[in-house]
């Protein structure tokens, strides 16, 4: 799916890590929430509240989930799950476009 139809978009962007990650929240017709964004080349540590599924739309990255010692590689078409109340380190080598599915 290349687009989300009939959604509400939070107009103000979420800007993290001095602009290395920028996203917009979207609210689906069923009330569920997602964010759509871009991560520029960097090595960043994110914390989670709710469980997340990160869907990679473009670019490449390496991800180390909390408690793991080695990174896994992801590219366009891949996704990874992050437990709630956890964290993950992402190392972006080629700008990543993503959708984060919450819950």
Does the pLDDT at position 50 exceed 90? yes
Nearest to 97 by CA among 80, 77, 71, 68: 77
Does the pLDDT at position 2 exceed 90? no
* Mean pLDDT, range 22-38, rounded to an integer: 97
Compute CA 76 distance to the chain's CA centroid, rounded to the nearest angstrom: 13
| pLDDT in the model for residue 103 | 86
* Mean pLDDT, range 27-54, rounded to an integer: 97
């Amino acid at each position: 799916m290349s687009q989300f139809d009939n959604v509400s978009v939070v107009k103000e962007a979420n800007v993290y890590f001095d602009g290395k990650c920028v996203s917009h929240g979207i609210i689906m017709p069923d009330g569920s929430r997602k964010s759509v964004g871009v991560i520029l080349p960097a090595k960043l540590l994110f914390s989670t509240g709710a469980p997340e599924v990160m869907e990679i739309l473009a670019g490449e990255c390496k991800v180390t989930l909390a408690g793991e010692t080695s990174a896994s590689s992801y590219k366009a078409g891949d996704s990874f799950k992050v437990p709630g109340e956890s964290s993950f380190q992402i190392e972006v080598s080629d700008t990543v476009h993503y959708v984060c599915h919450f819950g």
